[in-house]
Amino acid sequence: MSTALETPQAGVAAVSGDHNLLGPIIVATDGTTSASAALKAAAQLGDRSGANVIVLAVLEPLPLVAADYGLLLPPAETDDARRTALTQRVREQVNETAGPHPKWDVLVRDGDPAAVIARTAREQGARLIIAGIGHHDLLDRMFGGETALHTLRLSRVPVLAVAPTFVALPQRLAIAIDFSESSIIAAQTALTLLPSATMVYLVHVAPRLELQPEAYAAWMSDYSEGVEPAFARVRARLEIPAGVTIETMTLTGKPTKALLEFAKSAHIDAIVTGSRGAGLVDRILVGSTATGLIRGASCSVFATPTPMGSVPPRSPEGVPDEIPEHEWAACLEAFTRRNAGRVATLEVDDPEFGAQAQQHDYPLVGAAYDRHDRRIELMLGDMENSTRHLTRGIGDVRHLDLLKDASGRDWVLRIAHGSGQTILTLAR
């Protein structure tokens, strides 16, 4: 049996992604104590790196109020009062938590937190987003589950999520490595943006296959022979700052659990991961791992977004538009008129199992939204051939995004729902 670990060609010495490493730092807060750790981290990192810091607070819309047979929007005066109160609360928090920083900008914007943070990061050319990990409603929605993954994918900006116990910038890092390009870029980005690091572990989680014990032992022995050379190639490609010690570690088991247990035992200050992996083990380090780490870590988590499969890197010409719920039905009807018959690929990203392709190269039949059941129906295939037909019903829809290419043509339809997300990519 032979096992080859997929790695990029070893002749390339440096690693680069499409991240702006010289832009400002955006720190997300809502003025509550749950976000204080994020402000402390931003202050320390800003002082150390010289980066400008932008404090961003997001005013979420109030829910619709039922009135007899209709729905009423809250009066504008209510939003004005909420915005004024939030601005004042955030400014007081900055002074109390981070000390006087007269050059810091404070922005208060309306909308969905993840979408607003991603849009602001893009507009400002940010190098990094910092937020707190806490059990507060806003921050949980921002960085505790699907919205975290949403932010990573939309923004293309690394995220440093810091624990409530934050005291100082991370010195001991555990960097998850699956030997894919995305994990190597994440490693280099962390080494560049976290200048406080002194001890770095490159941690690989080997796949746990469903084999008989004897067969698994033989497979693992063979697999292990390729791990150290692969680690050597990774180290050769990284630009390691002076004073940083690098060690390697191979673990087995479920990636999230293994990384969290190692972080605890090794007294790690921050776990570093790409939001997606694309190497030998296609489903080892995917968005579900990044999300699981942010949910479960007692230390900080540094996550670098990277594209997956058919979902391309974001570009200034291709920025996803989040569609408000009241427009979903009309949007999908128009989407169907524009794109019926175009060849499409359907992918499903589940928090538990990762990303999986459902169908490739099927023509799009249509898409529709049922308001009563909050359900979207996607139809693909040849209607005259029952063997080439797929209907996927998606319930508990949370967000709907549409990405267009540089020419303005529809490209990617993303549906976020309670059990993950579904991505429909149209051939170009």
Between CA 78 and CA 299 the distance in angstroms is 38
| Ramachandran assignment for 181, one of left (phi > 0), alpha (psi -120 to 50 degrees), beta (any other) | alpha
* Overall pTM > 0.95: no
Three-state SS string over 195-249 comes to CCCCEEEEEEEECCCCCCHHHHHHHHHHHHHHHHHHHHHHHHHCCCCCCCEEEEE
Residue 266 and residue 239 share a domain: yes
In a domain, 220, yes or no: yes
Residue 141 and residue 92 share a domain: yes
Question: How many domains is the chain partitioned into structurally?
Answer: 3
Q: What is the pLDDT of residue 396?
A: 87
CATH of the domain at 182: 3.40.50.620
In a domain, 315, yes or no: no
Q: What is the pLDDT of residue 2?
A: 35
Residue 341 and residue 251 share a domain: no
Instruction: List, for residues 254-271, the tens digit of each pLDDT value.
Output: 888 899 999 999 999 999
Among 133, 162, 191, residue at a domain's last position: 162
User: Which regions of the chain are under pLDDT 70?
Assistant: 1-19, 33-34, 62-77, 134-155, 208-212, 215-216, 219, 275-291, 306-322, 350-360, 383-388, 406
In a domain, 294, yes or no: yes
Residue 408 and residue 290 share a domain: no
Residue 158 and residue 31 share a domain: yes
b/e code 105-118 from CB counts within 10 Å (16+ = b): eeebeeebbbbbbb
Among 107, 132, 162, residue at a domain's last position: 162
CATH of the domain at 335: 2.70.180
Write the CB contacts of 220 (distance below 8 Å, at least 6 apart in sequence).
Answer: 206, 252
Residue 325 and residue 278 share a domain: no
- Which tokens hold the place of 299? 């230390």
Residue 145 and residue 40 share a domain: yes
Residue 193 and residue 123 share a domain: no
Structural domain boundaries, residue 249: 172-304
> Helices marked H in 267-364 — which ranges?
287-296, 328-339
CB 173 within 8 A of CB 194: yes
Instruction: List, for residues 168-184, the tens digit of each pLDDT value.
Output: 999 999 999 988 777 88
Residue 292 and residue 348 share a domain: no
Strand, coil or helix: 297: coil
Residue 225 and residue 326 share a domain: no
Q: What is the pLDDT of residue 141?
A: 41
In a domain, 264, yes or no: yes
Between CA 31 and CA 106 the distance in angstroms is 11
In a domain, 12, yes or no: no
In a domain, 372, yes or no: yes
Residue 293 and residue 227 share a domain: yes
Among 304, 335, 350, residue at a domain's last position: 304
In a domain, 244, yes or no: yes
Q: What is the pLDDT of residue 235?
A: 94
Residue 268 and residue 199 share a domain: yes
In a domain, 90, yes or no: yes
